[in-house]
């Protein structure tokens, strides 16, 4: 209730502020254009939320409520990766739209790639840190009953890392006014997720649920990429992208080994630090991480 009241107050305040600067008007043509893009996205709001809860629903039906609690804890912690990316997309989404509408990407095929890759690099760095140090964090701040959430965090770090491309392909389809395809892709994602989750949960429990979500997410990222490229082409430097994902995958594999075999604390921290250092070095070599680059990202030239 408090959320509704605060939003109404904010809406009323914005209305009064804009009313002083802009006259009241009603543009039927603009409304029709907006509805044409937004209405196909309406089912995505409901079913998109359902899809985020699907693994826990199936886990509760097939497994047990205690497993759902452990899985939820791991998923919530891993979700910080996506929340960080969502914060970043408030910066890069408007600029990508500007580049798309200016048609600069047509003359310079790597214009959007050159702009977006540093954001991708930073997002994957967060995923890398979450995957590598989840064991230490859970061990320090949570009781022993939640130790089973560690592999969930590690596995889902891949899933949330892959979702970065979903943010870009979504922009491509909205720009192309193909929002109906976005909704269809979401339904396809739900079907793949259900198809994988049921056998995976039956055989491997919460670990199976995490892998099913991750694998279905990877499938949908690949499918969405090819569909979006059909309407709006963005040239990517795939060697750099795959190198970054390779380091993240190595970090995930090492973290899983570390969790199962309980390496000594000093050995574990040393190897994890080397992986982080390697990632930073890759950032400098590929010119994705520098003071100049950070300034360019923060202070975007319009």
In a domain, 26, yes or no: no
* pLDDT for res 254: 96
CB 73 within 8 A of CB 56: no
In a domain, 186, yes or no: yes
- Match 């892709």 to its residue by tokens: 185
* pLDDT for res 302: 45
In a domain, 9, yes or no: no
* pLDDT for res 267: 92
Q: How far is CA 127 from CA 157, 198, 270, 286, in A?
A: 5, 27, 19, 19
Residue 180: is it exposed, middle or buried by C-beta count within 10 angstroms (0-12/13-18/19+)? middle
Q: How far is CA 292 from CA 228, 296, 298, in A?
A: 31, 6, 10
Residue ranges in the chain modelled with pLDDT below 50: 302
* pLDDT for res 153: 96
Residue 270: is it exposed, middle or buried by C-beta count within 10 angstroms (0-12/13-18/19+)? exposed
In a domain, 16, yes or no: no
Residues in the chain: 302
Number of domains composing the chain: 1
Residue pLDDT, tens place only, 206-232: 999 999 999 999 999 999 999 999 998
Note down the domain range covering 176.
40-298
Could you give the 3-state DSSP secondary structure of residue 32?
helix
Structure tokens at 197: 């989750």
Sorted by sequence, the CB contacts under 8 Å of residue 73 that are 6+ apart come out as 142, 146, 149, 152
In a domain, 5, yes or no: no
Residue pLDDT, tens place only, 151-172: 999 999 999 999 999 889 988 9
- Match 């630090």 to its residue by tokens: 273
Distance CA(202)–CA(80), nearest Å, equals 28
């Amino acid at each position: 209730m408090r959320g509704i009241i605060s939003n109404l107050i904010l809406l009323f305040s914005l209305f009064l502020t804009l009313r002083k600067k802009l006259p009241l008007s009603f543009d039927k043509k603009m409304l029709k254009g907006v509805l044409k893009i937004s209405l196909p996205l309406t089912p995505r709001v409901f079913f998109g939320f359902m899809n985020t809860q699907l693994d826990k629903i199936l886990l509760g039906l097939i497994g047990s409520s205690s497993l759902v609690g452990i899985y939820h804890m791991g998923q919530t912690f891993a979700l910080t990766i996506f929340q960080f990316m969502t914060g970043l997309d408030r910066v890069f989404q408007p600029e990508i739209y500007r580049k798309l509408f200016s048609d600069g990407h047509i003359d310079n095929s790597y214009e959007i790639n050159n702009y977006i890759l540093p954001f991708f690099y930073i997002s994957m760095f967060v995923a890398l840190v979450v995957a590598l140090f989840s064991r230490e964090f859970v061990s320090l701040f949570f009781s022993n009953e939640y130790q089973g959430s560690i592999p969930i965090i590690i596995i889902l770090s891949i899933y949330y890392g892959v979702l970065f491309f979903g943010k870009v392909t979504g922009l491509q389809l909205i720009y192309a006014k193909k929002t109906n395809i976005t909704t269809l892709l979401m339904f396809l994602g739900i079907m793949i997720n259900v198809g994988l989750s049921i056998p995976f949960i039956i055989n491997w429990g919460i670990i199976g649920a995490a892998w099913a979500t991750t694998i279905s997410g990877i499938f949908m990222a690949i499918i969405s990429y090819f569909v979006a490229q059909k309407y709006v082409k963005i040239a990517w430097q795939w060697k750099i992208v795959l190198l970054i994902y390779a380091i993240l995958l190595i970090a995930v594999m090492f973290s899983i080994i570390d969790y199962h075999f309980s390496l000594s604390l000093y050995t574990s921290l040393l190897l994890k630090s080397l992986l982080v250092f390697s990632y930073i070095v890759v950032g400098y070599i590929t010119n994705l991480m520098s003071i100049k680059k950070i300034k360019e990202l923060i202070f975007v030239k319009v």
